[in-house]
C-alpha cells in the first residue's frame, strides 16, 4: 500500500460480490467497495474509509481479498501492474450498455425510486422500523416521495460522507420518472 497516488478499480470478483448481495462484506466495507470507480486515488479511498468509520487497512483488505486492484491506466508501464480484466468475462450483474431512449424511459418509475430508497434506508438504519421508512411506504406520489428523500438526506448528511450522499441522491434522481 505504498503507492497512494494510484487509482483503484474493482476487479471482476469485486463486481461479482456487489452483484450477489450475499452479505460477504459488512455494510461499511460494501459502501467503500461501491465508491471505487477507477477514477479515485488510493489516498482518497483511505480518506473515505475513515469517513465511513473504517481504518486505513480496509482498503488494503479489499486489495488483498482480490476485490480491488490498481487501475491499469494509473499503473502505466510498471511491471507489477496487473493486466486489465477483459470485459467479456464480467459477471452478469455488470450493467449492460446504455439502453435506447425509449427503453430508458420505461426503467424510470416512482416505484423503482421508492424501492431504491427503501433499500438504502434499510442499510442505513439497520432496521425496517424507522419512522422515515414508514413515511416512504405511505408516500404514493412523487412530491411525497421527494419530501421523504429530503428528510432522509438531512440524516445522511450527518452520518455519511458527502460523496456517498451525492451518489445516493444521483441514483435516486436517475430512477425518478422524467418530468
Q: How far apart are CA 152 and CA 136, in angstroms?
A: 10
Phi/psi zone of residue 13: left (φ > 0), alpha (ψ -120 to 50 degrees), beta? alpha
Residues 110 and 63 in one domain: no
Residues 168 and 118 in one domain: yes
For residue 144, being part of any structural domain is answered with yes
Per-residue pLDDT 10s for the chain (179 aa) are 344 457 888 898 888 888 777 777 888 888 888 888 888 888 888 888 888 888 878 888 888 888 888 876 434 433 344 444 444 443 444 444 454 444 444 477 888 888 888 888 888 877 667 888 888 888 888 899 999 999 888 888 888 888 888 898 888 888 888 86
For residue 32, give the C-alpha cell.
467503500
For residue 165, being part of any structural domain is answered with yes
State the pLDDT at residue 28.
Answer: 84
Q: Please provide the size of the chain in residues.
A: 179
Q: Which of 66, 89, 112 is the last residue of a domain?
A: 89
For residue 2, being part of any structural domain is answered with no
Question: 99-107, long-range: CB within 8 Å, 24+ apart, which pairs?
Answer: 105/177, 105/178
Residues 113 and 81 in one domain: no
- Short-list 119, 113, 120, CA closest to 153: 120
Question: Are the CB atoms for 61 and 70 separated by under 8 Å?
Answer: no
Q: How far apart are CA 68 and CA 61, in angstroms?
A: 9
Residues 79 and 114 in one domain: no
Q: How far apart are CA 29 and CA 27, in angstroms?
A: 6
Residues 63 and 136 in one domain: no
**This prediction's pTM:** 0.42
State the pLDDT at residue 35.
Answer: 85
State the pLDDT at residue 53.
Answer: 84
Number of domains the chain is built from: 2
Q: Which of 89, 122, 151 is the last residue of a domain?
A: 89
Residues 165 and 108 in one domain: yes
Nearest 10 degrees: CA dihedral of 39, 45, 51, 54?
150
Q: Which of 29, 56, 89 is the last residue of a domain?
A: 89
Domain containing residue 121: 101-175
DSSP 154: H
State the pLDDT at residue 42.
Answer: 81
Q: What SS3 state is found at 118?
A: helix
Residues 110 and 169 in one domain: yes
Q: How far apart are CA 41 and CA 7, in angstroms?
A: 4
Amino acid at each position: 500500500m505504498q503507492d497512494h497516488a494510484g487509482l483503484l478499480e474493482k476487479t471482476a470478483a469485486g463486481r461479482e460480490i456487489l452483484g450477489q448481495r450475499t452479505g460477504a462484506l459488512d455494510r461499511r466495507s460494501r459502501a467503500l467497495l461501491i465508491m471505487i470507480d477507477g477514477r479515485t486515488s488510493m489516498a482518497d479511498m483511505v480518506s473515505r474509509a475513515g469517513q465511513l468509520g473504517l481504518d486505513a487497512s480496509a482498503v488494503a483488505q479489499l486489495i488483498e481479498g482480490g476485490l480491488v486492484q490498481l487501475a491499469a491506466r494509473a499503473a502505466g508501464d510498471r511491471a507489477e501492474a496487473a493486466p486489465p480484466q477483459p470485459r467479456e468475462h464480467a459477471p452478469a450483474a455488470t450493467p449492460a450498455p446504455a439502453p435506447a431512449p425509449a427503453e430508458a424511459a420505461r426503467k424510470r418509475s416512482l416505484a423503482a425510486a421508492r424501492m431504491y430508497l427503501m433499500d438504502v434506508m434499510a442499510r442505513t438504519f439497520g432496521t425496517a422500523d424507522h419512522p422515515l421508512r414508514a413515511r416512504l411506504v405511505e408516500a404514493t406520489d412523487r412530491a411525497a416521495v421527494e419530501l421523504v428523500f429530503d428528510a432522509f438526506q438531512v440524516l445522511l448528511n450527518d452520518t455519511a460522507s458527502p460523496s456517498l450522499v451525492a451518489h445516493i441522491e444521483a441514483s435516486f434522481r436517475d430512477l425518478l420518472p422524467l418530468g
